Amino acid sequence: MNVPFRVGQGFDVHALVEGRPLIIGGVTIPHTHGLKGHSDADVLLHALTDAVLGGAALGDIGRHFPDTDPVYAGADSRVLLRAAYAKVREAGWQVVNIDATIHAQVPKISPHAPAMVANIAADLGIPESVVNIKGKTNEHLGFLGRKEGIAVTAVALLARQA
């Protein structure tokens, strides 16, 4: 079907542990705990990578960058996002806008959101005005509310390149 727009959705979750830096949206946030993962565990960029890959029907982050591959141990997720988006562009799609929610009981996201927006806009080559990042607590409910992890939900609208 030759439609001009496609939507992609992404989700990711990582455990909060001691002894790791907390990196979200490429921003290192001072905090007592960090996110556990094979890569830098940037939960926002992983959900976003899945959203842009999903919109282009290109599978998911694990298919392109397997967590069993030692090449990606400690990987910078900004590099992975850029590489995934290059594949999306090669498939003929470009991002129109992005919206994501970081489900975190702590820390407060809003002071860091502008820096995350700047990183994502730079990595995708799109204006900051089309990137929206927001934080939400889990009202102390469940594993997110107990500060055992952070989750992200993201959507991306893609348009066919001219």
Ligand X SMILES: C[C@@]1(CO)OP(=O)(O)OP(=O)(O)OC[C@H]1O
Q: Cα–Cα distance between 95 and 83 in angstroms, integer?
A: 14
Q: Cα–Cα distance between 23 and 77 in angstroms, integer?
A: 9
Instruction: State the burial class of residue 36 (Cβ atoms within 10 Å of its Cβ: 0-12, 13-18, 19+).
Output: middle
Looking at the Cβ atoms of 31 and 159, the one nearer to ligand X is 31
**Rule CB under 6 A: is residue 65 a binding residue for ligand X?**
yes
> Which stretches of the chain bind ligand L45E5XJ5, using CB under 6 A?
104, 108-110, 134-137
Instruction: Report the binding-site residues.
Output: 12-14, 38-39, 46, 60-62, 65-69, 143, 146
Instruction: Report the binding-site residues for a divalent metal cation.
Output: 12, 14, 46
> Which stretches of the chain bind ligand X, using CB under 6 A?
12, 37-39, 41, 46, 61-62, 65, 67, 72, 75
